[in-house]
């Protein structure tokens, strides 16, 4: 499991894991974020990428989710850039 997979599982953005889903619940979303990430994206672009991937996969948009994606974008960008090194 990559650092991004672990990060998203610990974040548990939809609270599925805390409600009993397996830790790999968000692996598809993590893989899609990794696939679409470009190293030259700024934090806002990364935040939008995270938000859009989850919106496309989950088809739900919990209150405050977009803001949370943008808030976490810097940390996620760092994880993804570390992966490319």
User: Rounded to two decimals, what is the model's pTM?
Assistant: 0.94
Overall average pLDDT of the 62-71 stretch: 97
For the cut 90, the answer to whether the pLDDT of residue 1 exceeds it is: no
Q: Cα-atom radius of gyration of the chain, to the nearest Å?
A: 12
How many Cα atoms within 13 Å fall on the side-chain side of residue 73? 21
CA-based angle 8:14:18, to the nearest 5? 80
Helix extents (H) in 1-85:
3-11, 27-36, 43-58, 65-84
Alpha carbon distance 10, 31 (integer Å)? 16
How high does pLDDT run on average in the chain? 95
DSSP 1-12: --HHHHHHHHH-
């Amino acid at each position: 499991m990559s650092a991004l997979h672990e990060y998203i599982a610990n974040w548990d953005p939809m609270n599925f894991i805390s409600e009993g889903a397996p830790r790999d619940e968000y692996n598809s979303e993590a893989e899609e974020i990794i696939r679409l990430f470009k190293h030259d994206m700024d934090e806002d672009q990364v935040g939008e990428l995270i938000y859009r991937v989850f919106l496309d996969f989950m088809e739900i948009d919990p209150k405050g989710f977009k803001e949370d994606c943008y808030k976490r974008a810097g940390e996620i960008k760092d994880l993804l850039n570390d992966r490319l090194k």
